[in-house]
Amino acid sequence: MNETDVSRVVSLAPSATAILDSAGLDSKLVGVTAHCSLDSPVVGGWLNPDFDRIAALDPDVVCTCDDLQADIVAELRERGYSVAHVAPATLDDVFDSFVGVCAAAAARDAGEELVSSCRDHLSELRVALADRPRPTVYCEEWANPPMVAGNWVPDVVRAAGGSYPFLDAGVRSREIATETVVDANPDHVVLHPCGKGERGDIDEFDARGWNLGASVHAIDDSLLNQPSPALISGIDHLARLFHPNADHPAPWAATKSDEAI
């Protein structure tokens, strides 16, 4: 099959759905997961797709993301599907995945334009925050046990004008000791428990008795956990929390590519 024939895409990852939507390629999506915020036929969950429903949609390509879907990828390929799989670990990897996912939908240029738009916005934000002190930030991806956010989150925090001494970018999220957080004396705590939306519990966090003296924020987890253009909105959101008096550029918004159908 020539890639120009790709017109039916099933997305088994909310990130892939968001990438294609932001690139103006949503008309190619014929199926998504129950976790995707797009009005399209649902083919099950991220880790438990319905292969019969996928078959009924007859996709040209199926998009997946993260090594947690490795078994699903293997099953799809065994069934004869063309699979576009990405597993980004850093913010640069995430940007590369925009191009890869759009290329799988026969629209590489749309992915490249999306990356350019995101990078241009981050350059504007970098200039706006250049002379400001960087507050120390602790991002928590899970509460019980406490897990510090890794992967691209260290990059996201730094792009938002913060300092992140807990993990290097590209390292998986991991359990963290209370003493490690307390010793770092963070200025901000960001709660974004995976899969919980905006339901990080600030009162529960305060009840731990860590006595950090930090500002504690609960934000929509997709702004930090989803490797999609949502991260740019997450960076904007964090930058306003960390530097409320800065001269911020207007929040980033997707500009649909001319290549979009």
User: Is 257 inside a domain boundary?
Assistant: no
- Tell me the two tokens of residue 31: 């199926």
Predicted pLDDT of residue 197: 64
Residues 15 and 112 in one domain: yes
Question: Mean pLDDT of residues grouped by 10 in the chain (261 residues)?
Answer: 75 97 97 92 95 97 96 97 98 98 97 98 97 97 96 98 98 97 98 82 93 95 96 98 97 72 43
Residues 20 and 118 in one domain: yes
Q: Is the pTM of this model over 0.85?
A: yes
Residues 117 and 146 in one domain: no
Predicted pLDDT of residue 37: 85
Residues 147 and 234 in one domain: yes
Predicted pLDDT of residue 1: 42
Contact yes or no for 228/18 (Cβ under 8 A): yes
Residues 79 and 45 in one domain: yes
Q: How many domains does the chain have?
A: 2
User: Is 92 inside a domain boundary?
Assistant: yes
Predicted pLDDT of residue 31: 97
Predicted pLDDT of residue 200: 85
Strand order in the sheet with 83-86: 29-31, 9-11, 61-65, 83-86
Predicted pLDDT of residue 69: 96
Predicted pLDDT of residue 255: 79
Predicted pLDDT of residue 40: 93
User: What domain range includes position 178?
Assistant: 137-242
Predicted pLDDT of residue 165: 98
Residues 89 and 66 in one domain: yes
Residues 117 and 165 in one domain: no
Residues 209 and 119 in one domain: no
- Please give the full DSSP string across the chain, using - where no structure is assigned: --GGG---EEE-SHHHHHHHHHTT-GGGEEEB-TT--SSS-B-B-SSSB-HHHHHHH--SEEEEESGGGHHHHHHHHHTT--EEEE---SHHHHHHHHHHHHHHTT-HHHHHHHHHHHHHHHHHHHHHHTTS---BEEEEEETTTTEE--TTHHHHHHHTT-B--S--TTSPPEE--HHHHHHH--SEEEE--TT-TT---HHHHHTT------EEEE--THHHHSSSTHHHHHHHHHHHHH-TTS-PPPPP-----TT--
Q: What is the pLDDT of residues 135-164, one digit of tens each?
A: 999 999 999 999 999 999 999 999 999 999
Q: CATH number, domain at 33?
A: 3.40.50.1980
Predicted pLDDT of residue 4: 59
- Please give the full DSSP string across 214-250, using - where no structure is assigned: -EEEE--THHHHSSSTHHHHHHHHHHHHH-TTS-PPP
- Tell me the two tokens of residue 108: 């590489």
